[in-house]
Structure 1
Amino acid sequence: MNNEKLINRFIDGDKTAINDLYAEYSPRLYRFAMAYLKSESEVLDIVQEVFVNVWMNRNKLKKDSNLDAYLFTVAKNTIVSVFRKKLSEKDYLEHLKNKSITNSIDTESQFNYNQLSDKLNDLIEQLPPQRKKIYQLSKEQGLANKTIAAELGISIKTVEDHLSKASKFIKKNLTEYGFLALLFIDLFVNSK
């Protein structure tokens, strides 16, 4: 078939020209795309996309255009777009996977925090009544040792002694929970 006549018909919008163009070039474009993609459904989509693209941009063709070069350039660019899309989808899936891992770590941390918090409350309940009261006034209400001593009618030294013994008891019983417990102790047991 004379390419120049075909290009002229094509540029002029002759719809039968696209059928002739497809019949002549689709087998070669199919083999070309298959060499890169290896998936028949993707290759068929690419071939179809090439012809749609060429038809939509037919006014950019010149009568003396090299049709082979033009069609294969459009095919190559379409294949590159498919690869880019696959890479961005892969990156996105990787992002989702990482987010899901992060969420599961957050959930695990929340579970560990709740577990440690429950254990801390249990340990506080096990303290002798006076020590428990002093500990709660100090750690939960944030009262100064001097204020606690005045409120309970005891010496500051007695308050310090009770707090020290309460902290040692709690630390001893929480350390079995490992590193997270040490962090928890530092945040909630040692601080005021």
Structure 2
Amino acid sequence: MDEDKRVKRLISGDKAVINELYADYSSRLYHFAFGYLKSGADSLDIVQEVFVNLWNSRKNLKKNSNLEAYLFTVAKNTIISVFRKRLSEKNYLENLKFEVVDNSIDTESKVNYDLLAEKVQELIEKLPPQRRRIYVMCKEKGYTNQLVASELNISLKTVEDHMTKARKFLKENLSEYGFIALLYVALFLS
């Protein structure tokens, strides 16, 4: 169907055209979003948001609007918003980590924290060499799993498997340290 006719139908409030557009573009939009977000649920949310935005903004469309360009521009902008939100949440958690450490109730808590951090370092040293290298790249250097896979020339699944096993090993070996260890695990190893 001619895109100009679709735009006119959309502007006039024809709900059937949204279903047509969804059938034509939802899969491509999903894969576009997934390429950036690596999350099926987030990608589905992006697709839904794109079509809600299209419907809500339909009266602002020009009669010769390029719907495909519009849909992918909205998707791109929504993905950028998701990244900004993730970065904001990550920064908040980073600040929270430092507040927990800096605002410790007393010297004993700080000493306990230092001992725990030392124990974690000892446990990291006990990881198999490849697992330790992957863990350090992800957790201490801040590399993404994808970047680690690329740098080490291994699959993303292998990186994820090593990270899962490293976290499990650390959690199991820190459980004897009680509440402060649980807090440490929640803040630093998740």
TM range (shorter): 0.5 to 0.7
Residues 113-167 of structure 1: per-residue CA shift (max 9 Å, x gap) = xxxxxxxxxxxxxxxxxxxxxxxxxxxxxxxxxxxxxxxxxxxxxxxxxxxxxxx
Shift in CA distance, 98/110, structure 1 to aligned 2, threshold 3 Å: closer
Instruction: Show the counterpart of 1:108.
Output: 107
1:2, 1:102 → 2: CA distance?
63
Closer, same or farther in 2 for the Cα pair 1:102/1:9, shift >3 Å? same
Give the superposition deviation at 1:68.
Answer: 1.1
| CA 11–111 in structure 1, closer or farther in 2 if over 3 Å, else same | closer
Deviation for aligned residue 1:26: 0.5
Residue 55 of structure 2 corresponds to: 55
Where does 1:1-192 land on structure 2 (aligned, <5 Å)? 1-104=1-104, 106-108=105-107
Query: 1: distance between equivalents of 2:16 and 2:46?
Result: 21
Deviation of the 1:110 alpha carbon: 9.0
1:95 is displaced (CA, Å) by 1.0
Distance 1:54 1:109 in 2: 57
Cα offsets for 1:26-60 (capped at 9, x unmatched): 01111111111111000000000111111111111
Distance 1:6 1:92 in 2: 44
Measured in 2, the distance between the counterparts of 1:42 and 1:2 equals 31
AA aligned to 2:55 is W
Deviations 1:65-123 (A, max 9, x none): 1111111100000000000000000001111111111122x4227999xxxxxxxxxxx
Structure 1 residue matching 2:106: 3-state secondary structure:
helix
Alignment RMSD: 1.8
Question: Larger Cα Rg: Structure 1 or Structure 2?
Answer: 1
Distance 2:12 2:56 in 1: 12
8 A contact 2:101–2:110 mirrored in 1: no
Matching residue's letter, 1:66: N
**Paired residues, what number?**
111
CA distance in 1, matches of 2:83, 2:53: 18
> Please, what TM-score do these two structures have when normalized by structure 2?
0.55
Structure 2 residues without counterparts, runs of 5 or longer = 112-190
Structure 1: unaligned runs, 5 residues or longer: 113-192
Question: For residue 141 of structure 1, what is the aligned residue in structure 2?
Answer: none
Q: What is the identity, as a one-letter code, of the residue corresponding to 2:101?
A: I
How high is the sequence identity, in percent, across the aligned residues?
A: 61
Amino acid at match of 1:69: A
Q: Find the aligned partners of 1:110 and 1:6 in 2 and give their Cα distance.
A: 65
TM-score w.r.t. the length of structure 1 is: 0.54
Q: Helix, strand or coil for the counterpart of 2:48?
A: helix
